[in-house]
Amino acid sequence: MCGIVGYVGKAEAPQALLQGLKRLEYRGYDSAGMATLNGSGLAVRKAVGRIAELEKLVAEEPIHGQTGICHTRWATHGSVTRENAHPHFDRSGKLALVHNGVIENYLELRAALEIDGHFFKSQTDTEVLAHLIGREFDRLKERSKGRLVEALRAALLQVIGTYGIAFIHEDVPGVIIGARRGSPLVLGIGKEENLLASDAAAMVSHTRDVVYLKDYEIVALDAEGFQITTLQGDGAGYVISQVEFSEKDVSKGDYPHYMLKEIFEQPRTVRDAMRGRLAPEEGTAKLGGLEMSNAELRDVERIVISGCGTALHAGMVGEYMIETLAHIPVECEFASELRYRNLPVPKDTLVFVISQSGETADTLAALRECQRKGHRTLGICNNVGSTIARENDGGVYMHAGPEIGVAATKSFTSQLVVQSLVALLLGRITHLSHSEGLNIIRELEKMPDKVAKVLELNDRIARIAKKYAQSKVMLFMGRQFNYPIALEGALKVKETSYIAASAHPSAELKHGVIALIDESTPSVFIAPRDAVFEKNLSNIEEVKARKGPVIAIGTEGDDRLAQVADDVILVPEAPDFLTPILMVIPLQLLAYHIAVELGRDVDKPRNLAKSVTVE
């Protein structure tokens, strides 16, 4: 949550900062601000609202300088006001700081600083941190880059909480200092310019050479180079990574919204998730990143899958996949609950954590908690340089490319594909025959084309969406593999349209949910032609008997749904365990088109941010 960009180099900083900040708007859009060093001090601009408001202000009241920092805010401490917008300043007004994260002991620190004569202009924890660093720096006689780092260390040793920060000081021009603990910060290495950002997407216009900073690392950068040290004062080794995506990958292209672009990228991302990982000659999947031998995998008696939001829904599908193909007991846990539970986990339990960003705070905490208790913990994520990717005991990279739209789409289907590969691998080393494994591979190889065929239904789904866009409540129902897809469909509608959508197992209809049925409440049934198709059909009949409108998503060739449902969307046939990949895409499109019809900001829904890096 929140986005940071810092630039130091030969170019004008405001243009570079705004360009990078626009690529991070998915991280927060309550307010935005920037500060530059213009040769005679700090120049500052702040605006409430989207980054466009800051851009407009900078156009009307230009600022200059070749060193600067900026920030787009997702409010945690303090309401959405100009005073609470970043950057924040120390008592001298010479230090400007931007911050992601939460300083948990800021009230105690603030009280101590007030006793020391400090006055605060905002309600934020960030301003306290700025004052703290400024006080430590003012105690030092020498005004240098090294002293800035020394002051930062002294301040951070007093802090409890999480942070990704960048700051500048007018007494030490041409220098940016950054640090991280629990909130991502990436160093971009350019030619006669260097950058800091919360996400590499902000800097691909300048460089694709990056260093993903680790917790408790501090970086000092100027136009010529950088130095990375630790909070303890030691030198820190680092690895320069190459960003896999380009500037084109983080643009919308010809699409009106990132969400629609990313939905339509799914034939490619589904293919990329399995590329190089299918072994037809052995009838299995190859997942070397798990860092486990077949013998070690065979010893697994139980699997726990943990995640948040969409990632948890993907894990719930994975539970069905693994239990069906590998006959290993699986349970799914909210990462936010797992980190605080004393969950009885037997010795031979394998843990998977799922996160698109690889930085989700609760999921990272769940990973660390499971590792602390001695359990091998694997990650499924989309960011090879993320904290989860670095700290896990092995894992699988999704290869979905950057996902900018706040509502996850292509990352979800990639997570499903990855888990189907895990299920295939586990099944083949236990009881699945070679021919069974080969049949699964053949079905997986057909999925990109089937996904493309589902996308051809876009116009039809748009018409259906228009019909139901004014609904105040929507119900989503599915069974077995597709109950989590009902949850995901309801989540997409809530996120993008703000309609009160809820999801339930179809069979639970009679156990209370049916009280919600009326003529103005549409029910979306996920009803492929599977073992429980007749049961789903019966549930639809029960809704129709009470005059409830029904949207049914079924399998091509089926004509029975059309006899009972008001609107029917048919997708290609697939094995039961792969139907969720196809069934979720109409729900993504339905949510998208309802949001567009209602005039919602599809890519940046209210109150939401893409990467939840605070608890």
Q: Which of 261, 410, 450, 610 is catalytic?
A: 610
Q: What is the CATH number of the domain that holds 223?
A: 3.60.20.10
Residue 235, in any domain of the structure: yes
Q: Strand, coil or helix: what is 103?
A: strand
Whether residues 358 and 496 share a domain: the answer is no
Q: Is 610 known to be catalytic?
A: yes
Whether residues 166 and 276 share a domain: the answer is no
Residue 589, in any domain of the structure: yes
The arithmetic mean of pLDDT across residues 275-297, rounded, is: 96
Q: Which of 2, 308, 332, 370 is catalytic?
A: 2
Whether residues 188 and 86 share a domain: the answer is yes
Q: Which of 227, 250, 273 is the last residue of a domain?
A: 250
Whether residues 245 and 270 share a domain: the answer is no
Whether residues 287 and 396 share a domain: the answer is yes
Give DSSP secondary structure letters for 268-290: HHHHHHHTT-EETTTTEE--GGG
pLDDT above 70 for 90: yes
**What span, in angstroms and rounded, lies between the C-alpha atoms of 523 and 336?**
30
pLDDT above 80 for 76: no
CB 134 within 8 A of CB 91: yes
Q: Which of 420, 455, 490 is the last residue of a domain?
A: 455
Residue 614, in any domain of the structure: no
**What span, in angstroms and rounded, lies between the C-alpha atoms of 51 and 57?**
10
CB 110 within 8 A of CB 88: no
Residue 216, in any domain of the structure: yes
Domain that holds residue 558: 456-606
| Residues in Cβ contact with 594 at an 8 Å cutoff, skipping those fewer than 6 apart | 465, 468, 469, 493, 496, 497, 499
Strand 67-73 to 42-48 pairing = unpaired
Q: Is 2 known to be catalytic?
A: yes
Please give the share of the chain, as a percent, with pLDDT higher than 70: 99
pLDDT above 90 for 78: no
Predicted confidence band at 342 (pLDDT cuts at 50, 70, 90)? Answer: confident
**What span, in angstroms and rounded, lies between the C-alpha atoms of 518 and 521?**
6
Predicted confidence band at 62 (pLDDT cuts at 50, 70, 90)? Answer: very high
Domains: count for the chain: 3
The arithmetic mean of pLDDT across residues 363-368, rounded, is: 94
The arithmetic mean of pLDDT across residues 4-8, rounded, is: 96
**What span, in angstroms and rounded, lies between the C-alpha atoms of 333 and 343?**
10
Residue 387, in any domain of the structure: yes
Whether residues 180 and 240 share a domain: the answer is yes
Torsion 214-215-220-221 (CA) sign: positive
pLDDT at 293: 95
User: pLDDT tens, 501-551?
Assistant: 999 999 998 899 999 999 999 999 999 999 898 999 999 999 999 999 999
pLDDT at 212: 94
Q: Which of 224, 250, 276 is the last residue of a domain?
A: 250
The arithmetic mean of pLDDT across residues 571-581, rounded, is: 97
Residue 357, in any domain of the structure: yes
pLDDT at 92: 95
Predicted confidence band at 75 (pLDDT cuts at 50, 70, 90)? Answer: confident
pLDDT at 298: 96
Whether residues 86 and 62 share a domain: the answer is yes
Whether residues 415 and 552 share a domain: the answer is no
pLDDT at 615: 60
User: pLDDT tens, 426-468?
Assistant: 999 999 999 999 999 999 999 999 999 999 999 999 999 999 9
The arithmetic mean of pLDDT across residues 476-501, rounded, is: 97
Q: How far apart are the first and last CA of the chain?
A: 10
Q: What is the CATH number of the domain that holds 517?
A: 3.40.50.10490
pLDDT at 344: 84
User: What is the amino acid identity at position 367?
Assistant: L
Helix (H) / strand (E) element for 446: namely: helix 434-455
Residue 15 CB coordination number (10 Å):
12
Predicted confidence band at 30 (pLDDT cuts at 50, 70, 90)? Answer: confident
**What span, in angstroms and rounded, lies between the C-alpha atoms of 411 and 353?**
14
Please give the share of the chain, as a percent, with pLDDT higher than 90: 83
The pLDDT mean for the chain works out to 93
Residue 611, in any domain of the structure: no
Whether residues 358 and 445 share a domain: the answer is yes
| Closest C-alpha to 117, from 102, 135, 99 | 135
Whether residues 503 and 514 share a domain: the answer is yes
Whether residues 263 and 403 share a domain: the answer is yes
pLDDT at 431: 92
Residue 26, in any domain of the structure: yes
**What span, in angstroms and rounded, lies between the C-alpha atoms of 43 and 258?**
33
Whether residues 246 and 256 share a domain: the answer is no
pLDDT above 70 for 611: no
Predicted confidence band at 613 (pLDDT cuts at 50, 70, 90)? Answer: low
User: pLDDT tens, 229-255?
Assistant: 999 988 878 999 988 877 777 888 899
Predicted confidence band at 614 (pLDDT cuts at 50, 70, 90)? Answer: low
User: pLDDT tens, 305-339?
Assistant: 999 999 999 999 999 999 999 999 999 999 999 98
Q: Which structure tokens are listed for 232?
A: 């303890």
DSSP state, residue 161: B
Q: Strand, coil or helix: what is 209?
A: strand
pLDDT above 90 for 60: yes
